[in-house]
Structure 1
Amino acid sequence: MRCSSQTNTHRSLSPVIKALSVALIMLAATGNLQAEVSVSTHISTIGPGIELGYKLSPAFGVRAGWQQFATDFDFKPEDENGVPGDELTYEGDLDLKNGSLMADWYPYQGRFRLTAGLLLNNSGTKLTTNCKTNTAGTVPVANSCEVGGSSVSGSDIGEVDITIDFEERIAPYIGLGWAFQQGKSWFISADLGVAFLGKANADIQTTGSCNNTESCRSQLDDEEREIEEDMESLKFFPVAKLGFGYRF
């Protein structure tokens, strides 16, 4: 399965976030501004970010946000051929870029809320590797690596580039949360939920002759499937968020 373009997706999501923010500001401008509009910053499992909210009534509210974070990321697929130390170790960057649009229901018109919404997922990772950077093991690997459960020579595979993202670019989200008022305007918030990211997509390209050999290319396809299976647990991604904000 091949990945969609990160650049194109980012361009398509950015206007959505801007439009949502403008819509909330216009909505707030038409109503009562007293303790209705909120601005907050937060840390979360999908990165730090900012959020703009509007309380439609004591029982309902909406929020739009953006989270972004980048960090180093290493990944090693599981051993499939029984030879320790010949697995490729992928190294690169993990880029978290997510917009969000949430609807809140306060069943008791107090601190507690139930939330449903959409996570506009533009996250992904780009990794590189070669046989020289495979894991040190107890069995000499003679400059060969495990690819798709079989050994491939370093000269055949060359430099390896892999891109990983998720199929659900607009991911459903459900969760619950609390907002604790601190004085007249300041507040602390907490959210716990889960986003359905769907199946992971891995795309591997190499600079070696492997791309031009049907049997070797088949092993690369198997490696892609192994990586996708290793990331199956991230299909339902846990989202935890702690925020601090101000209500106008």
Structure 2
Amino acid sequence: MMKKWLTVGMMTALLGTGMSSAHAFESNVTVGALAGTTGVGAEASWRFHERVSLTANYAGGLSWDGDYESDDVTYEGDLDISAGALKLDFYPFAGRFYLTAGAMFPDMEANVIGRPTNGGTYELNGQTYNLDSVHGKLTIADGVQPYVGLGWRSSHRNGFGFFSELGVMATNIDVSLSASGSGTNDPDFQENLRAEERELEQDADKLSVYPVAVLGISYTF
């Protein structure tokens, strides 16, 4: 009988400790400044449970310039990058490490200009044209895109801290080209221009996901 009462007493104590620990957690709000592969911005996270938080952020102001050669045309452009995010974070160990998933709202576009690589003629889909210019827009990602990642954030305790995150966002590649000069309204030319768009999209589509890396400093209330 004594052993039975001791066992019941130990179980009751353990349950009481677990309940006390669960009730001891208080929701926290963390705000921070970040920098990464989507630019520089800010973040806010509400940890309403010891294992779950809701996070929103926005970053922008990042620009990449580059060129790409297709047939006898070299395309040059500056890619402007910005993105917002709304994510649900899960802390499996109720500490700093978390897994996250949600939606990103990117705006990643470049205005491109095509220049003849050799001489003054453009080659589009194997055909040569004398044109004044070829220009257009390259979209890496826009709208709403799914996102997954993992990170480290000290939102379980008050005060200053650092945070980091690594993840991937899906892309939706799109290329739109236009040209000026004689013969650009010809149906055959337009078909070759559309073929050039498809070729550029296929090459750019090798980037099926965009890497997201973030470092930041935060304060938890």
Q: Is the 8 A contact 1:53 1:61 kept in 2?
A: yes
Q: CA–CA distance in 1 between the matches of 2:214 and 2:136? A: 30
2:91–2:99: 8 Å Cα contact kept in structure 1?
A: yes
Give the Cα–Cα distance (whole angstroms) in 1 for the partners of residues 138 and 211 of structure 2: 18
Counterpart of 2:42 in structure 1: which amino acid?
A: I
1:165-220 Cα deviation digits (max 9, x unpaired): 14651000011111257x9511111111111123x110001121343111221111
Q: Can you give the 5+ residue segments of structure 2 that lack an aligned partner in the other structure?
A: 1-25
Q: Which amino acid aligns with 1:179?
A: R
Bigger CA drift: 88-97 or 185-194? 88-97
Q: CA RMSD in A?
A: 2.1
Q: Specify the code of the residue in structure 2 equivalent to 1:122.
A: D
Larger radius of gyration, structure 1 or 2? 2
Q: Is the 8 A contact 1:162 1:202 kept in 2?
A: yes
The CA distance in 1 between the partners of 2:75 and 2:183, in whole Å, is: 18
2:107 to 117, 122, 126: 122
DSSP 3-state at the match of 1:233? coil
Per mean C-alpha deviation after superposition, the further-off stretch among 143-152 and 222-231 is 143-152
Stretch deviating more after TM superposition (120-129 or 55-64): 120-129
Rounded Cα–Cα distance in structure 2 between residues aligned with 1:210 and 1:48: 45
Query: Does the C-alpha gap of structure 1 residues 218 and 204 become closer, same or farther in structure 2, counting only changes over 3 Å?
Result: same
Is the 8 Å Cα contact of residues 204 and 220 (structure 1) preserved in structure 2? yes
Amino acid at match of 2:34: H
Question: What's the offset of the Cα at 1:96?
Answer: 1.0
Distance in 1 separating the partners of 2:183 and 2:216? 48
Question: How far apart in 2 are the matches of 1:146 and 1:188?
Answer: 52
Render the CA deviation track for 1:208-248: whole Å, top value 9, x for unaligned.
13431112211111111111011112221111111111112
Contact map agreement 2:83 2:104 (CA 8 A) in 1? yes
- Partners of 1:130 and 1:196 lie apart in 2 by 30
Q: Which amino acid letter does the alignment assign opposite residue 124 of structure 1?
A: E
SS of corresponding position for 2:76: strand
Aligned pair partner of 2:180 in 207, 211, 219 = 207
Deviations 1:143-185 (A, max 9, x none): 22222333322xxx2122211114651000011111257x951
**Greater strand proportion:** 2
How far apart are the structure 2 equivalents of 1:101 and 1:65?
7
* Amino acid in the other structure paired with 2:127: S
Provide the TM-score with structure 1 as the length reference: 0.72
Question: Do the aligned residues in 2 keep the contact of 1:77 with 1:230 (CA within 8 Å)?
Answer: no
Q: TM-score, normalised by structure 2?
A: 0.80
Structure 1 residue ranges without an equivalent (≥5)? 1-33, 80-86, 135-140
> Which residue matches 1:46?
38
2:161 to 166, 175, 187: 187
Q: Secondary structure at the match of 2:197?
A: helix
Contact 2:107/2:142 (<8 A) preserved: no
State the distance in 1 between where 2:102 and 2:120 align: 49
Q: What do residues 2-51 of structure 1 show as CA deviations (whole Å, max 9, x unaligned)?
A: xxxxxxxxxxxxxxxxxxxxxxxxxxxxxxxx771111111111222211
Look up the SS of the partner of 1:189 in the other structure: strand
8 Å CA contact 1:35, 1:185 repeated in 2: no
- How many positions carry a matched residue from both structures? 195
Q: 1:91: which partner in 2?
A: 76
